[in-house]
């Protein structure tokens, strides 16, 4: 009996591949949630409260840049080699972070760690896109998305336990054994599939201009929140420099032999719509992830532990919705109605959350955030699938990396915007501290309603191409012994 994959991979080989990819993904996924718990202790030890956000910022910046750059380099040198290099980079930089003696060293080493992290959150989805047919990959991408929910649920608890019992440096050293396991699994489980007709030409001009453009934009967004410390002219100057670098980047990509982000992708309407929807979905998800705990602690007076437990239903619903969405796509071969449904559900979620006040009971907060979690979970497999299905095998790597890139951009752009809305409301309000906090969070979710409405409108412009069952990679490229012969 053959197992249902494009070239009939034996079932035990599929289990091996998915285990290797999920452990590799877990290394990076745990980082966000563990660090959030440990960071207050880190700052207390290294003395750098004014630089509190910089270890997060440097990591997010380099990981976002590396998603695109190494997505393309994996086309040239093979997925397996780049993925292993990403894990090794992540592990070595984790050790360096653990031995940091001041906040500036930590910021530097976190930046290096972000390079590995960017590889780890994009390459597994590229590999799934290559080895499974369009219908099958939806199912497996939904399963892989559970890693993020697992990390979000267990990460804060694990971070607290490690920090309390072994010190904050332990949150970095724990990456070492997980990384070793991931490398071992990937070495044994994943063939280094190679694409045909890829020229080994590195787009240095594109890499440099892209890095400068994104770095200056990221820095401008970071310091724009404190006009007292940084003059407006410096912030505007950074934005103008970023814009000029983006223009040079676009010009470089039009001429590049192997562009890191080919401009021709944007001529495809499905890619453009998927990128926009991925960006909006990430922004909407983080509106709940960040501000539901703040509401529960700052308004309802819940403890940090209870606030974390309150988020579990949202994260569980996110996981379940991701798996079910993947299965539905796999069964039907269709996705447009699911995209429309996703933004309707997310819209309902943020509308409900915008009604929260000082009298809102905790169980309603759980219910509202769970609705948002369902919609957010649907996005995980959807936009990778829609974009991958619109291109051939040669473009799967950069297309998948690009969708992940725009998801990160959604976080980079809108998390500061939400912060500005909160700060502006708090500064201008004459209400009590608690009432002002309620009003500011309500305003954030009102802004989220607008984003959800935009996402819903854009969804109707998504062109649907039924998902096929053809193999993205020829059987000859699969190592001997991996294919289960049909009886």
Cβ-based neighbours of 161, under 8 Å, separated by 6 or more: none
Q: Look at 134-148, 443-457, 467-481 and tell me which has the smallest mean pLDDT.
A: 467-481
The whole-number average pLDDT for the span 441-462 is 94
Q: How confident is the model at residue 242 (pLDDT cuts 50, 70, 90)?
A: very high
pLDDT interval class at 36 (50, 70, 90): low
Q: Which whole number is the average pLDDT over 14-18?
A: 80
- The SS3 assignment for 409 reads helix
What is the C-alpha to C-alpha distance for residues 79 and 395, in angstroms, rounded to an integer?
Answer: 13
Distance CA(16)–CA(482), nearest Å, equals: 11
Q: How far is CA 351 from the centre of its chain?
A: 24
Question: What pLDDT digit, counting tens, does each position of 208-233 carry?
Answer: 999 899 888 888 887 776 556 677 78
Q: Which two tokens stand for residue 5?
A: 């994959």
Average pLDDT, integer, range 28-44: 72
The pLDDT of residue 323 is 84
**pLDDT, tens digit (0-9, with 9 covering 90-100), for 74-90:** 878 888 888 899 999 99
The structure tokens listed for 401 are 């990396």
Per-residue pLDDT averaged across 270-276, rounded?
93
The more confidently predicted of residues 306 and 118 is 118
Is 258 or 192 the better-scoring residue by pLDDT?
258
13 φ/ψ sector (left φ>0, alpha ψ -120 to 50, else beta): alpha
Closest CA to 166 of 49, 47, 34, 59: 34
Lowest mean pLDDT across 13-17, 126-130, 227-231: 227-231
Instruction: Count other Cβ atoms within 10 Å, centred on residue 191.
Output: 17
| All residues at 6 or more sequence positions from 359 whose CB lies less than 8 Å from its CB, including other chains | none
Q: Which residue has the tokens 């998948």?
A: 400
450: confidence class by pLDDT, cuts 50, 70, 90: very high
What does the mean pLDDT of the chain come to? 81
Kindly report which listed range (38-42, 176-180, 447-451) carries the lowest average pLDDT score: 38-42
Over the stretch 360-399, which tens digit does the pLDDT of each residue have?
Answer: 888 898 899 999 999 988 888 888 888 888 887 778 888 8
Dist. CA 361–CA 359, nearest whole Å: 6
Backbone angles phi, psi at 334, to 5 degrees: -120, 155
- State the DSSP code for 230: S
Contact (CB, 8 A) for 200 and 76: yes
């Amino acid at each position: 009996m053959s197992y249902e994959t494009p070239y009939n991979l034996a079932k035990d080989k599929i289990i091996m591949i998915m285990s290797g990819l999920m452990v590799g993904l877990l290394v990076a996924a745990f980082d966000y949630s563990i660090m959030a718990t440990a960071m207050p202790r880190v700052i207390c030890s290294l003395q750098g409260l004014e630089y509190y956000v910089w270890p997060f910022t440097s990591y997010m910046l380099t990981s976002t840049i590396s998603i695109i750059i190494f997505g393309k380099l994996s086309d040239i040198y093979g997925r397996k080699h780049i993925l292993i290099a990403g894990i090794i980079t992540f592990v070595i930089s984790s050790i360096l972070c653990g031995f940091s003696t001041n906040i500036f060293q930590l910021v530097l080493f976190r930046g290096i760690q972000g390079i590995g992290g960017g590889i780890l959150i994009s390459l597994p989805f590229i590999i799934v896109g290559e080895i499974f047919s369009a219908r099958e990959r939806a199912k497996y991408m939904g399963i892989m998305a559970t890693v993020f929910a697992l990390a979000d649920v267990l990460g804060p608890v694990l971070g607290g336990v490690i920090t309390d019992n072994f010190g904050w440096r332990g949150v970095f050293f724990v990456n070492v054994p997980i990384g070793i396991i991931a490398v071992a699994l990937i070495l044994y489980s994943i063939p280094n599939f190679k694409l045909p007709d890829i020229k080994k030409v590195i787009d240095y001009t594109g890499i440099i201009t892209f890095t400068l453009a994104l770095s200056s934009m990221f820095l401008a967004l970071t310091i724009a929140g404190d006009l007292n410390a940084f003059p407006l002219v410096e912030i505007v100057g950074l934005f103008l420099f970023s814009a000029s670098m983006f223009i040079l980047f676009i010009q470089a990509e039009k001429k590049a032999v192997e562009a890191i982000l080919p401009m021709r992708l944007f001529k495809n309407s499905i890619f453009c719509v998927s990128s926009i929807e991925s960006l909006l979905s990430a922004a909407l998800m983080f509106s709940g992830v960040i501000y539901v705990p703040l509401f529960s602690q700052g308004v309802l007076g819940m403890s940090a532990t209870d606030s974390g437990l309150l988020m579990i239903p949202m994260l569980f619903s996110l996981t379940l919705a991701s798996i079910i969405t993947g299965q539905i796509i796999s069964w039907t071969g269709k996705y447009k109605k699911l995209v429309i449904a996703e933004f309707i559900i997310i819209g309902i979620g943020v509308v409900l959350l915008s009604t929260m006040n000082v009298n809102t009971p905790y169980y309603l907060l759980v219910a509202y955030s769970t609705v948002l979690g369902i919609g957010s979970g649907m996005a995980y497999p959807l936009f990778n699938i829609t974009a991958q299905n619109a291109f051939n095998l040669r473009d799967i790597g950069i297309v998948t990396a690009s969708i992940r890139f725009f998801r990160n951009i959604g976080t980079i752009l809108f998390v500061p915007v939400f912060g500005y809305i909160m700060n502006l409301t708090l500064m201008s309000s004459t209400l009590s501290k608690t009432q002002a906090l309620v009003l500011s969070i309500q305003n954030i979710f009102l802004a989220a309603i607008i984003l959800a409405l935009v996402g819903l409108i854009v969804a109707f412009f998504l062109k649907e191409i039924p998902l096929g069952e053809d193999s993205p990679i020829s059987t000859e490229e699969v190592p001997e012994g991996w294919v289960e012969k049909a009886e």
